[in-house]
Amino acid sequence: TWPQENDDDIDLEELIASLPKEKGFISPIQILYRNFWCPSEVFPGVHSFCRHFTAHDSDIILACKPKSGTTWLKALAFSALRRDVFPPSANNHPLMSSNPHELVPFFEFTIYGQAGELIDLASFSVPRLFATHIPHDSLPESVGQSGCRVIYICRNPLDTIVSFCHFAPQVKPELWSGGRSSMEEYLDYCCRGIDGFGPFWDHMLGYWKASLERPDKVLFLKYEDLREDTAGNLKRIAEFMGVPFSEEEERDGVIEEIVKLCSLSSLKELEVNKTGKPGVWSTENKTYFRKGEVGDWVNHMTPSMAEKLERIMEEKLSPFGLKF
């Protein structure tokens, strides 16, 4: 539970001062808010979203911890959901000129994160498609109370940590250069449950349990499964969103077209993703596309680092049937 905040004139500085804080790895500090560690720079957006967003029954929200496959899921869900207006084979498909983060905005970075200038939610096509990194149990109440659907993607924490440790120093070199932070230190914070939007086990288990309780409202995916069978999982995503592929579409290869359009190799080569900036952390689009390999952690972690994290995963995730 967290303090109820009904007062619109709440003083953010005062609120932040009253909350527990720790060293940050992508923002100068992390703030414990609503039972998760919020990177300080995104705190105003998180706070505004949690207090002001009202979900509609038809809304679809993509949720994940950073570096779990957010960009890929955004591309796939957008392409499947809007394929009546934007056929995946079209030369002017929005993914050709816009990064997935522009097409499916985050609540906390983009929609509520623009220093008070709220994006007009009424201008969104229905069903509205959004994204968030916020844990399930910390989302605004209307998300659980409405018919709104949530698609969650998670990834082996070993690979997520490696991915983050390649991403964060590019976005915030001042927090990493000169030995200010290292993968070993970040891993230690993760093991102690002090990672952005985490503890990571609470993040996964919150959505995992919700998907078991309300399978028609919460779809739980793994990056590894998506890599192994992208087409099969894309079909599940489309069905879950209420836009299943017809037999005719399957025959015409629409699923394969979307898989190809959204593949790492296709997106990475687009000019927009080589040069543009989408505004999330004000980082360059190219930082979202690296190797996309399952098990890349073996190339970057010592056996003792991996063992330390695997012990925590065994303790926290295995009892609930979550394995990687």
Q: Does 70 bind ligand A3P (CB under 6 A)?
A: yes
Per DSSP, the residues of 169-225 read HHH-HHHHGGGT--HHHHHHHHHTT-STT--HHHHHHHHHHHHHH-TTTEEEEEHHH
Query: Per-residue x/- marks for ligand A3P, 162-201, CB under 6 A?
Result: -x--x-----------------------------------
Applying CB under 6 A, which of residues 67, 83, 203, 222 lies at the interface with ligand A3P? Answer: 67
Q: What minimum distance in Å lies between the beta carbon of 155 and ligand A3P?
A: 8
Listed residue (156, 131, 158) closest to 143, CA to CA: 131
Which residue, 105 or 292, is less far from ligand A3P as judged by CB? 292
241/252 Cα distance (integer angstroms): 21
Per DSSP, the residues of 81-100 read HTTTTS-TT-TT-HHHHS-H
101 is catalytic: no
Query: Could you give the 3-state DSSP secondary structure of residue 254?
Result: helix
Instruction: Map the footprint of ligand A3P across residues 213-272, applying CB under 6 A.
Output: 262-264, 267
Q: Of 47, 93, 101, 133, which residue is the catalytic one?
A: 133
Q: Which stretch binds ligand A3P (CB under 6 A): 60-68, 141-149, 193-201, 238-246?
A: 60-68
Q: Does 113 bind ligand A3P (CB under 6 A)?
A: no
Q: Classify strands 60-64 and 129-132 as parallel, antiparallel or unpaired.
A: parallel
Task: Verify cis geometry, omega within 30 degrees of 0, for the bond prior to 127.
Answer: yes
Q: For the chain, give me the number of helices (H) and strands (E)?
A: 17, 7
Q: What minimum distance in Å lies between the beta carbon of 55 and ligand A3P?
A: 22
Residues noted as catalytic = 133
For ligand A3P, the binding residues (CB under 6 A) are 64, 66-72, 75, 159, 163, 166, 262-264, 267, 288-292, 296
